[in-house]
Chain A
Amino acid sequence: MGAAYNLARWLVHNDHDAEDVVQEAYLRAFKFFSGYYGGDGRAWLLTIVRNTCYAWLKKNRLLRLAEPIEDNVAEAGLDFADPERLFIQSVDSEKIRWALLELPVDFREVVVMREMEGLSYKEIANIVDTPIGTVMSRLARGRKRLQTLLSKTMGKEAGI
């Protein structure tokens, strides 16, 4: 249930809606239990949670997905070669939270599932219903964009 709530909370932005979404997802999971053909029960549940979140976001016109052009612009600002970034260790987790929320939903969800829930590329690919290669590229672009956002707010000392 923790993974379900965490994912929902990251996708819909607030406690109240996240709880509603999780409840709806659980009820759906209960109703369509016949659609569960064994395998990873957590991944199956997360798939339903994710779909419920997307439905909620669409209904509330909050669904913001990454656009290829926007993506390229964001990544262009990144300077890989700045040596000073290496040395600062501590990172303000609230700023990371903010940066993560800045990500388009389709990038944010793979980062959350990978970094917080420790899901494999294959599991994420199943939940998001895309090829594994797409998961890897979204993860890469999501991370790069996080780096860009964080280096903008924290300055060069962030080291991320």
Chain B
Amino acid sequence: MSCQHTDELIHGHLDGELELVKSLEIERHLSACAVCTKNYERLRRLRSALGETTLRYLPSDRLEERLRSALRQESKPERNRTIFQPRWLVAAASLVLAFIVIWIVGRSLVKPDSGDLLAQEIVASHVRSMMADHLTDVSSSNQHTVKPWFDGKLDFSPPVKDLSQQGFILTGGRLDYIGNRPVAAMVYQRGQHPINLFVWPATGSANSTETVAVRQGYNLVRWTNGGMTYWAVSELNLPELQQFAQLLR
């Protein structure tokens, strides 16, 4: 090993950081080279001089106490600051509130109310009843035939009226399923126009007057009477359908 190479590695050797093979090579060189040996001796002396304990600064007693109280203080407000600080509470609360408001407004904009949903279902059922050629399960113009037919098929007995005198001919009845429950559907005929009259027990006992609506060109009239909810739907014009509703009440 050359003097220059030794000079590069001598510090590693001095600090015991060299791998064994390199250290042995340096030892071999040192035993043969006076210049490098002197250099090594000087470095060792410098090391021992630097390692003298008087050079090392010792912390004062008060520093330890100071650190302890600083850390104590830090650990207390830290907890308060991150979780319980009013500022954060307010920010979090208003964020939550904003989300709730957006959610409610969004829902009311997107989702129609239940009455609207029901109207949609009624119209769909009316359309389906004519498309599938399944207008009636029991075909009869006799109310005394139609009414008993529902017995045992529903948990209620729908009132069935004969309105043939007024030009609304009963043609039959059928079971249907509206608003998550089985309902009675009575079918009347006014001229060329069939009318579907859906009946099921009302949730409340209060009677209500007719409400009208138009969906996809069909007219709807809704009312509650005698503990039953009625929905009449037809392509029949609205005044005549309202008249039909009046006659049933």
Contacts and interface: CB of A to CB of B under 8 A. Distances in A.
Interface stretch (A34-42, A50-58, A61-69, A79-87): A79-87
Contact of B54 (A10, A31, A93): A93
Majority SS at the chain B contact face: helix
Given A80-B39, A139-B15, A147-B42, A97 B55 contact: yes
Contacts of A23: 63, 66-67, 70
B64 interface: yes
Interface residues of B, number: 35
Contacts of A136: 11-12, 17
Interface string B55-93: 111111001101100110011001000000000000000
B71 A26 contact: yes
Contacts of A139: 11, 15
B47 interface: yes
Given A1-B64, A30-B75, A91-B49, A143 B55 contact: no
A1 B61 CA distance: 11
Contacts of B38: 80-81, 83, 85-86
Contact of B59 (A1, A80, A93): A1
Contacts of A83: 38
Interface string B214-249: 000000000000000000000000000000000000
A2 B71 CA distance: 17
A26 B71 CA distance: 8
A111 interface: yes
A159 interface: yes
Interface string B1-33: 000000010111001010000000000000000
A116 B55 CA distance: 8
Nearest to A27: B74
A66 to B, nearest CB: 16
A6 B12 CA distance: 24
Given A5-B57, A6-B57, A23-B66, A143 B35 contact: no
Contacts of B63: 1, 5, 19, 22-23
**Nearest 5 Cβ contacts at the A-B interface:** A5-B59, A9-B57, A115-B50, A91-B49, A140-B11
Interface of B: 8, 10-12, 15, 17, 35, 38-39, 41-43, 45-47, 49-52, 54-60, 63-64, 66-67, 70-71, 74-75, 78
5 contacts: A2-B56, A5-B58, A19-B66, A121-B15, A140-B8
